[in-house]
Amino acid sequence: MNDEFDVIESQSKFDIKSFLFKALNYWKLFLICLIIGLIIVYQQNIRKQQSYRLSTQISIEDDKNPLFTSNTNLVFNWGGVSNKVQTMITSLKSRSNHEKVVDNLNFYISYLKQSRFRKDDVYKEAPFKIESIPNKYQLLNIPIKVIFIDDKNFEIEYAFDSEAVRAQNFSDKSKVDIDVVVGQFKKQFAFGEPVVLPFLNCIINIADDKKWNKEEEYFFQFNDFNNVVANYKNKFNISHAKNSSIINLSITDFNKGKIVDYLNETVRVLSEDQLNRKNQFVTNTINFIDDQLDRVKQNLSTNADSLNDYRQKNKIFNLDEESVSINSKLTTLEFEKDGVNRKLAYYASLKTYLETSNKFTEVPAPSIAGIDDGNILANIGKINSLSVEKSKLEYSVRSEATIFDDLNREIEGLKTVLIENISSATAGLRRELQSINSKIAIADSKIRKLPIDQQRLITIQRQYSLSEQTYNVFLAKRSEAEIIKSASVSDILVIDPAKDTGAKPIDLNLNSRYIFALFGGLFPPLLLAFLMVLFDTKLHSPESMQTISNIPLLGVVGKNNTDNNLAVYTKPKSAVAESFRAIRSSLQYIYKKHDINGSKTVLVTSSVSGEGKTFCSINIATVFALSGKKTILVGLDLRKPKIFGDFDIKNDIGAVNYLIGQKTLSEVTQATKIDNLSVITSGPIPPNPSELLISETMNDFIAKLKKTYDYIVLDSPPIGLVADALELLEYADASLYVVRQDYTKKPMLSLINDKYKKGEVKNISFLYNYYNLKNKYGYGYGYGYGYGDYGNGYHENENIKPSLLSRIKSFFKVI
């Protein structure tokens, strides 16, 4: 038996079946939560602004300019397609790139239209356009209402709620606080004319392809530039497969038109920046040539003026044949000398640049100085390529990375070699210059033999011719560089430009939200039912008794619907009366099993007050009396007497008076209106009830009762509160322990379980009271234990309408 108790006490406290039926009992709460959930979802749906995601796809190519040659190109290589892709991704993520895009598109200006629940961004759908006046401050982050008066005039309106507002100059991005007058601001303007206010400076033009409606409310708003850039930078998404030259760009936003324009403008800005960077060498060369052309042009103009003045003054317009020959030869030598000097100057400048600079991407093309040394051209190309790669890595790699040390070592090595090449080439040019100077000296000696006026004319004309030839050379070089620059193409190929082709919202399908509302409506009642079952320690069904005790269940008594405790007497054909008759039969079986003859006693007790102990005592005594047996009901709950009220008798005298020797047995015994049933009330509340119940007089009291009555029903105190009932168990041939549905707590039974486990109490059984059909969880019990619903035809109709749970239970019984 000990093993059985151990098993019972170790069983899980959580009752799955109770949980399910408890949850079903909250069907009204389910319905309320479901309705609330559906209303919430509906309100959210009608207020939800849908988001869209559009994308564009680009490819990074390695397109080289077909017009670049070894003389015009510094081998401008970015390290291959793979490195280019990483460079492009880094550029796309940069804040500077997004600043250019936002600035170009004027996305810091929002066009809004009032809808039912919010102001929607209508972008290109607005019937007007805002043109910000440069270097002026604009009101920030506050929607300004535009009211159309007619096709030529409009009105702006806003209510200021503070004395200062924030404004920004979108030319230099500076911000200031501007004082305003608190209250409603309203002023009329004409379309196309400047709106000049302390907090607003712009021109509002009506859109030609849009129609306006006076009933619709439109607004525009200037937003903080930095916040707009940060917002788009955060929404901008880049995806790129490893070892692939394809880059996918996408943005999620509420307005599809804005997404399309932003993506396409991003690609355009990136392509433009990349092409400018790719043409950096050519651009530097053109700038250098332009400087040289300005200088040579001034010399050419000066020499031309000098030549004309001398001819006019000396009336010498032509040279003789010998002078022309000498002048032509000398001019050629001077031009060769000038070319050598240009090379020497280029080498000197290049050497200084190499020794003083850390970047080598701004070196003009060697071809402009006529440099054709293969070693120098190759080394310039290599050092330029390494410098570009280093500059590119600075965008994405930390400066302390070892790769920079490797690049610096390579660059330093090339610098050393290149400086040695320059020294060697310079020495050769100086020897060539000496030779040219010797030839010029010979030609000068011949000129000195000519007349003085001829010598002067030859000198002036030679200087003019030299400037003219130099100018023509630089002009030709510039044209060549311009052709090369115009032939350059971007390495960015747009595969699939951004376009709205009927994009669908990416947000969760609004209708599917109702599924979540359904689950949301189910969850609170389920959670409530779970918590109530988890923390509920009360008894809710006769079957649950089997899980907490091995004490047998003698019977189940239904809910008493009468006005007093005389349920058997007032409604003898009721289900409650029938249940007490079943209890009477079970008690007879117990008495017979234990060979108890003659007068028989039954003690009725419980855990605490309020479980129906007195109700059960009265009706058990009644069923015995109605069977023709002489029965007495004894009230031994000396602390809280109750049984007298239902019989319309007084409690002036009773068992207490007999136990203290004041009255005889006949004096404390009172007859009732029920045949064969007498009652002994408890009488006045004594100061020492426990001592009276364990006294020798108590033994004499029970002995005398047995001589007179067939059945003695003892209504004892609650065993869970006082020890009196334990003392009375020795007088009982059978004991009934009353538990009440939805009232008795399971831990209350631990005391009687322990006594039963130790064998200290015998012939004890549970009596399950107040079995409520509306609250039962479907365990197969009717008002008469063991009869179930099949006994309904034998009992009085108590007009109890079956509950929803009862009908569900009946349905499961059928299936």
Q: What is the pLDDT of residues 60-85, one digit of tens each?
A: 776 554 444 434 443 333 334 446 77
Collect all residues with Cβ–Cβ distance below 8 Å to 285 and sequence separation of at least 6. 364, 365, 368, 477, 481
The region that residue 612 occupies, defined by phi over 0 for left and psi between -120 and 50 for alpha, beta otherwise, is: left
In this structure, the number of other CB atoms found within 10 A of the CB of residue 95 comes to: 11
Whether residue 672 sits in one domain with residue 526: no
The whole-angstrom separation of Cα 34 and Cα 514 is: 10
Q: Are 389 and 79 in contact (CB under 8 A)?
A: yes
The whole-angstrom separation of Cα 3 and Cα 9 is: 10
Whether residue 519 sits in one domain with residue 569: no
Provide the pLDDT confidence category of residue 308 given band limits of 50, 70 and 90.
Answer: low
Select, from the ranges 143-147, 521-525, 747-751, the one with the highest average predicted confidence (pLDDT). Answer: 143-147
- Reference 632, options 620, 614, 650; nearest CA is 620
> Tokens 């409009």, residue?
154
Burial of 759 (0-12, 13-18, 19+ CB in 10 A): exposed
Q: Are 634 and 713 in contact (CB under 8 A)?
A: yes
Q: Are 773 and 558 in contact (CB under 8 A)?
A: yes
Label each residue of 144-212 as H, E or C. Answer: EEEEECCCCEEEEEEEECCCEEEEEECCCCCEEEEECCCEEEEEEEECCCEEEECCEEEEEEECCCCCC
- β-pairing, 194-197 with 164-169? unpaired
Q: Please give the residue range of the domain that contains residue 397.
A: 317-486
Looking at residue 36, what is its pLDDT?
83
Q: Which letter does DSSP use for residue 538 in this model? A: B
Q: Does any domain span residue 418?
A: yes
Provide the pLDDT confidence category of residue 226 given band limits of 50, 70 and 90.
Answer: very high
Q: Does any domain span residue 265?
A: no
Burial of 641 (0-12, 13-18, 19+ CB in 10 A): buried
Q: How many residues does the chain have?
A: 815
pLDDT: which is higher, 189 or 383: 189
DSSP 194-258: EEEETTEEEEEEE-TT----TTS-EEEEE--HHHHHHHHHHHEEEEE-TT--EEEEEEEES-HHH
The region that residue 272 occupies, defined by phi over 0 for left and psi between -120 and 50 for alpha, beta otherwise, is: alpha
587 has pLDDT over 90: yes
At 343-377, the pLDDT tens digits run 787 778 777 777 776 665 555 556 555 676 777 77
Provide the pLDDT confidence category of residue 582 given band limits of 50, 70 and 90.
Answer: very high
At 262-305, the pLDDT tens digits run 999 999 988 888 777 766 666 667 777 777 677 777 776 776 66
Whether residue 476 sits in one domain with residue 388: yes
The whole-angstrom separation of Cα 579 and Cα 785 is: 7
Q: Does any domain span residue 92?
A: no
**pLDDT averaged over the chain?**
78
- Overall average pLDDT of the 639-662 stretch: 89
- Overall average pLDDT of the 90-115 stretch: 90
Whether residue 680 sits in one domain with residue 625: yes
Provide the pLDDT confidence category of residue 114 given band limits of 50, 70 and 90.
Answer: confident
Looking at residue 785, what is its pLDDT?
39
Whether residue 554 sits in one domain with residue 517: no
Q: Are 444 and 331 in contact (CB under 8 A)?
A: no
The whole-angstrom separation of Cα 308 and Cα 13 is: 121
Whether residue 477 sits in one domain with residue 521: no
Looking at residue 788, what is its pLDDT?
37
Q: Does any domain span residue 218?
A: yes
Amino acid at 181: V
Provide the pLDDT confidence category of residue 324 given band limits of 50, 70 and 90.
Answer: low
- Overall average pLDDT of the 438-445 stretch: 72
787 has pLDDT over 80: no
755 has pLDDT over 90: no
In this structure, the number of other CB atoms found within 10 A of the CB of residue 499 comes to: 13
Dig out the tokens for 266 from the structure. 């991003």
Looking at residue 427, what is its pLDDT?
82
At 771 the three-state DSSP class reads strand
> Tokens 């486990």, residue?
757
Provide the pLDDT confidence category of residue 621 given band limits of 50, 70 and 90.
Answer: very high
In this structure, the number of other CB atoms found within 10 A of the CB of residue 73 comes to: 20
- Overall average pLDDT of the 506-530 stretch: 72
The whole-angstrom separation of Cα 769 and Cα 550 is: 18
> End of a domain among 451, 486, 521?
486
Whether residue 577 sits in one domain with residue 432: no
- Give phi and psi for 96, each to the nearest 5: -60, -40
Of the listed ranges 43-52, 155-164, 242-251, 574-583, the one predicted with least confidence: 43-52
- Give phi and psi for 780, each to the nearest 5: 90, 25
- β-pairing, 492-496 with 246-253? unpaired
In this structure, the number of other CB atoms found within 10 A of the CB of residue 796 comes to: 13
Burial of 812 (0-12, 13-18, 19+ CB in 10 A): exposed
- Reference 368, options 433, 284, 426; nearest CA is 284
> Tokens 């396409």, residue?
264
At 446-470, the pLDDT tens digits run 666 556 655 566 666 666 676 777 7
Looking at residue 305, what is its pLDDT?
66
Partners of 735 in the beta sheet?
603, 764
- Overall average pLDDT of the 4-28 stretch: 60
Looking at residue 511, what is its pLDDT?
65
Looking at residue 677, what is its pLDDT?
95
Q: Does any domain span residue 262?
A: no
Residue 673: which CATH number?
A: 3.40.50.300
663 has pLDDT over 80: yes
Whether residue 670 sits in one domain with residue 649: yes
At 742 the three-state DSSP class reads coil
Q: Does any domain span residue 83?
A: no
Domain count, the chain: 4
342 has pLDDT over 80: no
- Overall average pLDDT of the 554-574 stretch: 89
Q: Does any domain span residue 96?
A: no
- Overall average pLDDT of the 128-152 stretch: 90
Whether residue 588 sits in one domain with residue 480: no
399 has pLDDT over 70: no
Question: Which alpha helices (H) appear in 495-593, and where do they start and end?
Answer: 513-535, 567-570, 575-593
Looking at residue 807, what is its pLDDT?
53
pLDDT: which is higher, 504 or 258: 258
Q: Which letter does DSSP use for residue 561 in this model? A: -
Whether residue 691 sits in one domain with residue 647: yes
> End of a domain among 208, 223, 238?
223
The whole-angstrom separation of Cα 177 and Cα 169 is: 11
Collect all residues with Cβ–Cβ distance below 8 Å to 450 and sequence separation of at least 6. 322, 323, 326, 458
Provide the pLDDT confidence category of residue 3 given band limits of 50, 70 and 90.
Answer: very low
Provide the pLDDT confidence category of residue 99 given band limits of 50, 70 and 90.
Answer: very high
The whole-angstrom separation of Cα 497 and Cα 261 is: 10
Q: Does any domain span residue 236?
A: no
Q: What percent of the chain has pLDDT over 70?
A: 74
pLDDT: which is higher, 461 or 27: 27
Whether residue 548 sits in one domain with residue 526: no
33 has pLDDT over 70: yes
Whether residue 702 sits in one domain with residue 777: yes
- Overall average pLDDT of the 754-768 stretch: 88
For the chain, what is the largest distance between any 2 Cα atoms, rounded to a whole number of angstroms? Answer: 181
Looking at residue 108, what is its pLDDT?
93
- β-pairing, 670-671 with 553-558? unpaired
Looking at residue 207, what is its pLDDT?
84
